[in-house]
Amino acid sequence: MKDFVDGTAFNAEQGNRARKLFAAVVLAALDDAIADDKKYGNGPEQIARWARSRDGREVLSCAGIDPTERVVQGLMEFVARGVRTSVALSREESERRNAAAAAGVHSEAA
């Protein structure tokens, strides 16, 4: 029984590692699309083309993301904002967004 539990825990850990690896690929694809958008102006179209491709759908699925049209639209909006993934995922950016949202709520209430 102990071997079964150890094996299951090992398999779950390996699955989580693989999911994180594919999530990193998705983040890299977003960064590439943002770079294309700044250089050529076609970033949202590039990420949409990738996400709708067979490889893109497979990578999204392996990352634990359902490759629906709603997800593709969200990826396109993210690229259109032009904020690199490392910046968007940072604590400072999160705090800045929260402060801006709070300021917007306070100004609407006034």
Q: What would the pLDDT profile of 72-101 be if each residue is shown by its tens digit?
A: 999 999 999 999 998 888 887 778 878 888
Q: Given a cut of 70, is residue 4 above it in pLDDT? A: no
Please count the residues of the chain: 110
What's the Cα-to-Cα distance from 13 to each of 1, 10, 19, 79, rounded to whole Å? 18, 5, 10, 31
Convert the pLDDT of each residue in 20-44 to its tens digit: 999 999 999 999 999 999 999 999 9
Three-state secondary-structure class, residue 90: coil
CA-nearest of 44, 46, 35 to 73 is 44
Buried b (16+ CB within 10 A) or exposed e, 52-69: eeeebbebbeebebebee
This model's pTM is above 0.95: no
